[in-house]
A and B are shown apart, each in its own frame.
Chain A
């Protein structure tokens, strides 16, 4: 063990949502907390990040944040996967992509894990801000839908919706959620507090949301039988999505002004991000050590006795080996970096820390996104408002879950910005098409335009054409439940980062159960598009390494990443099949807590942040209770 630099009551690795919420709650009780953050610390303001974002030619989620996207990950001290490293030519090239996605198993074809993440303090600022709750059956898939299926892949959570419900309310207060409680009562959702009201009124629907609402109202029972829901289709509604986005001033932050860049950065912090809680925590006395990479957890008599970490200097490249000693340890470093740290800690226990179940790193899940896009007959004026304001959530639960994956349908206000090829997405791609006579968007070869290749529009012809097309664009994404699979796995790669630490290696695929969900999403897309009177432009690139074909469907299907990294240190009552208990406490090491969405045994279809925040607050109470026993 390196020289002990620091001692404290609770040491936390990672300053994202879970880490900062726990730190802040503990600091209010006078508990001495230190956070190790691998990335740069909290910046005094977001001006640099905004300038980087504006100047980026590819406005991908990572664009406002360091390091530079083009850097070889072997030369980066604190690496991260980025959207630009997911193409066919790069996703398995470890001199471009941080994650090693090569497979050494000749019997197993793998597909790309398409989600990315940040490593700087509060890097979760590039989340969408959506905060729906899981629904009751998401916690008990096996009990509700696994009868008579011995191989049903799902494992029930060790806690129920009713246990988590009061913590949802606390998390909704911390993050500042805007939603309408009555509108959210579907798929079994109830509220613990009678007459519960969310902290703020709901976010109003966009013009496109309103249009889809009218289309959905036309659906008939006959044409929706393929969904396999027992509930009548007349109950299907477009609902405003709960979001940690201010609909009025809340906790000294202003109301959303619809800048349409929730991902990657809200210019006015109307959307909650972890730096808000982190600033409060450091004001309360929490010590945040940035540029500090945890490299090994140490064990003594079955308990964690310290964390070795590397303090590095960005400019000089110098590094100092340090250690921290605490009574209780919390690892809050996300679904890939947390298992990486546990597996790297193998000097004392060869299989890694907290891994007697061999479940650390296994069951990696995402919410595979089936992304579709089209053109409406008349304008709905996209590229305005929050990226997403409404969704169809009602299809997230039903008897069909015994056979195929559920999905939620998210309605985008950012239209084709992340759908069409070309550099920078739309409106750049379509603009270039009509100025330079190209057709990357697909719009330059339809009946309403008759351009020969490589001709250009100028003047009013150009404004009319672009204005008429871009204002009619839309996208709909189907967020699909992924079933757990122990072979979808994070392990350690032989390739290293610039601190000489092994980078994460990923093996990933989607199951037939999940694919059947995507197939149903495809059918629902066809139906909704026809009700909208829309022209379909959805296209799966020939070179997409995730694409797959299904009998009876003429086009290939695929999936994208949701940025939801889940399942890799799951909770359960049985130490043989799970890593932590319902308090997110390690079965193996009682003073170690592993928090975040890596604890989810199954993932439902709700964006994970609210649930992981609720669980983190619940864990905080447990830590406060047990701390006096560690003297």
Chain B
């Protein structure tokens, strides 16, 4: 596939997209200005090719993240509105939620992708957007740089911390918490039925009771393994 093809939909350029985000931001009620910058299309990069639409890169990121983390894309992007046509999933609206951690992560990975592997991982998600189960096998078959970046991405979602792919390759643990907000959005806590230490929305005495709520399925139920 030719990743160097120029973006062909002029109308969906940076300005139009920024306007789109602003409108959604108002709808959502709150969003940092940085969010606008965070979802600008990746023009002039190896992964600028996206004939599918203005949010195709973000949608590819969500599909990739869902496959790698095992957590549904609706949880990763709570305001996601999917395209009605399943085959057109890359044209969905990823939405803007009040926390919007996906944009922060996307921008962070883009800025810290030292081996130009991010675009290639997104391309795997795009190529498999109608066969999502193939994403993980394709990542496992990919080059080392891509595999270790994939691990960094999962750690980012799980812990809110950036483990450099190169450090992972060398079995070094030197994480950097991306932001205070990122720490509070770490998924591993929810996966374990808990909450980030120091960040809970629960009420007095909840710890005496089982966290599994039959009316609200948790991200994961240990009893079902």
Contact = CB atoms under 8 A, between A and B. Distances in A.
A467 B71 CA distance: 12
Nearest to A204: B208
Contacts of A217: none
Interface residues of B, number: 56
Nearest to A261: B198
B118 interface: no
Interface in A342-381: 378-379, 381
B197 A383 contact: yes
A467 B176 CA distance: 23
B222 A467 contact: yes
B185 to A, nearest CB: 10
A463 B222 CA distance: 9
Interface stretch (B36-44, B77-85, B108-116, B149-157): B149-157
B202 interface: yes
- What's the dominant secondary structure at chain A's contact region? loop
Interface string B185-199: 000110111110111
Given A435-B151, A459-B136, A467 B192 contact: yes
Interface string B62-81: 00000111110000000000
A468 B225 contact: yes
A431 B155 contact: yes
A56 B177 contact: yes
Contacts of B168: 436
A423 B154 contact: no
B18 interface: no
B163 interface: yes
A207 B70 contact: no
Interface residues of A, number: 62
Interface in A419-439: 422-424, 427-428, 431-432, 435-436, 438
B87 interface: no
B168 to A, nearest CB: 5
A417 interface: yes
Contact of B180 (A55, A417, A463, A466): A55
A467 B155 contact: no
B161 A428 contact: yes
B223 interface: yes
A461 B137 CA distance: 13
B210 A384 contact: no
A261 B197 contact: yes
Given A206-B208, A463-B219, A382 B203 contact: no
B215 interface: no
Contacts of A53: 198
B189 A427 contact: yes
Contacts of A269: none
Nearest to B160: A54
A431 B188 contact: yes
Given A54-B184, A57-B177, A459-B136, A260 B204 contact: no
Contacts of A472: 222
B191 A57 contact: no
A570 interface: no
Q: Which residue, B154, B204, B211, B219, has most C-beta atoms of chain A within 10 A?
A: B204
Given A257-B203, A458-B67, A463-B70, A59 B197 contact: yes
A613 interface: no
B95 interface: no
A258 B140 CA distance: 40
A619 B35 CA distance: 57
Given A54-B184, A384-B195, A467-B193, A459 B220 contact: no
Given A59-B198, A261-B197, A384-B195, 18 more contacts: A54-B181, A57-B176, A204-B207, A259-B199, A259-B200, A383-B195, A431-B155, A436-B171, A454-B171, A458-B67, A459-B70, A459-B136, A461-B70, A464-B220, A464-B225, A467-B219, A470-B194, A471-B192
25 contacts: A51-B180, A53-B198, A54-B180, A54-B199, A56-B177, A204-B208, A258-B207, A261-B198, A378-B222, A379-B222, A381-B211, A422-B173, A427-B188, A431-B159, A431-B188, A432-B175, A436-B155, A456-B147, A456-B154, A458-B69, A459-B68, A462-B70, A464-B70, A467-B222, A470-B194
The 5 closest A-B pairs by CB, nearest first: A385-B207, A54-B180, A261-B198, A383-B194, A470-B192
Interface of A: 50-51, 53-57, 59, 204-207, 210, 247-248, 255-261, 265, 267, 378-379, 381-386, 389, 413-414, 417, 422-424, 427-428, 431-432, 435-436, 438, 440, 454, 456, 458-464, 466-468, 470-472
